[in-house]
């Protein structure tokens, strides 16, 4: 199956997850929200693993990187619950965080992974920055 099919599935899953993240931000403690969110994610990941894979294989460094990514997504989730609880709304808060994350990963890819800086990337960063600014005006 093409990567774009998986990417579209990921986009829909992310949007729906963020919608429920907003609804879950009504819990007073963002760390409880994070625990419930991540716990459900762990259960789902386990079920998906058992259904589709059932084997551990691959580069040990890649596994360490996946664990570190999981740690940072948990930190992101805790902060996002708090931002949603006190921020202007899901249509402003989450796009700003997501666009900011995209901008950071592009810069990290260029600086740390020596990916090529192209005019498309430069224009994308300019448009992303403009989008963050316009969304921030909505606060």
Burial 87-109 (b: 16+ CB within 10 A, else e): beebebbbbbbbbeeebeebeee
Residue 25 burial (10 A CB sphere; 0-12, 13-18, 19+): buried
pLDDT reading at 58 higher than 90: no
Mean pLDDT over 119-123 rounds to 94
Block residue for tokens 């997850």? 17
Give the pLDDT of residue 34: 92
Q: Give the pair of three-digit tokens for residue 11.
A: 């986009």
Beta strands in 6-135 (DSSP E): none
% of the chain residues with pLDDT over 90: 53
pLDDT reading at 28 higher than 80: yes
- The C-alpha atoms of residue 71 and residue 82 are separated, in whole angstroms, by 17
Residue 39's CB is within 10 A of a number of other CB atoms, namely: 10
Give the pLDDT of residue 95: 87
pLDDT reading at 138 higher than 80: no
Mean pLDDT over 32-43 rounds to 94
Give the pLDDT of residue 139: 61
pTM of the model: 0.80
- Calculate the average pLDDT of the chain: 90
- Per DSSP, 115 falls in state -
pLDDT reading at 40 higher than 90: yes
Mean pLDDT over 65-73 rounds to 92
Residue 112's CB is within 10 A of a number of other CB atoms, namely: 8
Count CA atoms within 13 Å of residue 57 on its CB side. Answer: 3
Block residue for tokens 């931002």? 83
């Amino acid at each position: 199956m093409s990567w774009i099919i998986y990417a579209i599935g990921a986009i829909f899953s992310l949007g729906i997850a963020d919608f429920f993240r907003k609804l879950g931000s009504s819990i007073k403690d963002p760390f409880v929200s994070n625990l419930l969110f991540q716990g459900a994610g762990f259960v789902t990941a386990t079920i998906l693993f058992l259904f589709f894979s059932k084997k551990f294989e691959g580069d040990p460094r890649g596994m360490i990187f996946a664990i570190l990514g999981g740690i940072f997504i948990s930190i992101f989730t805790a902060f996002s619950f708090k931002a949603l609880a006190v921020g202007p709304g899901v249509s402003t808060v989450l796009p700003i965080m997501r666009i900011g994350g995209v901008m950071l990963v592009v810069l990290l890819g260029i600086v740390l992974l020596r990916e090529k800086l192209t005019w498309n990337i430069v224009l994308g960063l300019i448009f992303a920055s403009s989008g963050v600014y316009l969304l921030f005006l909505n606060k």
